[in-house]
Amino acid sequence: MTPPLAGKRVLITGSSKGVGLAAARVFVAQGAQVVMHANTTVASARAAAADIGEGVLGVIAADLSQPGAGTRLFAEADALAGGQLDIVVNNAGIYLASEIHADDADWHAAWAQVLQVNLLAVADICRAAVSAFVRRGGGSLINIASRAGFRGDDGDHSAYAASKGAVLALTKTLARAYGKDGVLAYALAPGWIDTRMAPQNAAGLAAARTEIPIGRMASAEEVAAMCAFLASGACASATGACVDINGASYVR
Q: Are 55 and 32 in contact (CB under 8 A)?
A: yes
pLDDT tens for residues 162-200?
999 999 999 999 999 999 999 999 999 999 888 766 556
Count the domains in the chain. Answer: 1
Cα→Cα distances 164→31, 140, 211, 247, Å: 30, 19, 20, 19
Q: What is the model's pLDDT at position 155? A: 93
CATH number at 238 reads 3.40.50.720
Q: What is the pTM of this model?
A: 0.94
Within a domain: residue 252?
no
Whether 41 maps to a domain, the answer reads yes
Catalytic residue among 160, 178, 186, 250: 160
pLDDT tier at 204, thresholds 50, 70, 90: low
Could you tell me the pLDDT band of residue 122, with boundaries at 50, 70 and 90?
A: very high
Q: Which domain holds residue 197?
A: 9-245
Which residue in 198, 242, 251, 191 sits closest to 218, CA to CA?
Answer: 191
Q: Dump pLDDT digits (tens) for 14-42.
A: 999 999 999 999 999 999 999 999 998 89
Dist CA 140 CA 74 (whole Å): 14
Amino acid at 143: N
Look at residue 3 and tell me if it is in a domain: no
Percent of the chain with pLDDT over 70: 94
Which value, to the nearest 10 degrees, does the dihedral of the CA atoms of residues 53, 187, 87, 28 take? 20
Percent of the chain predicted with pLDDT > 90: 90
Asked if residue 152 belongs to a domain, the reply is: yes
pLDDT band at 201 (very low <50, low <70, confident <90, very high): low
For residue 36, is it within any domain?
A: yes
Residues 242 and 206: their CA atoms lie apart, in Å, by: 27
Please check whether residue 63 lies inside any domain of the structure. yes
In this structure, the number of other CB atoms found within 10 A of the CB of residue 75 comes to 13
pLDDT score at 205: 65
Q: Is 160 a catalytic residue?
A: yes
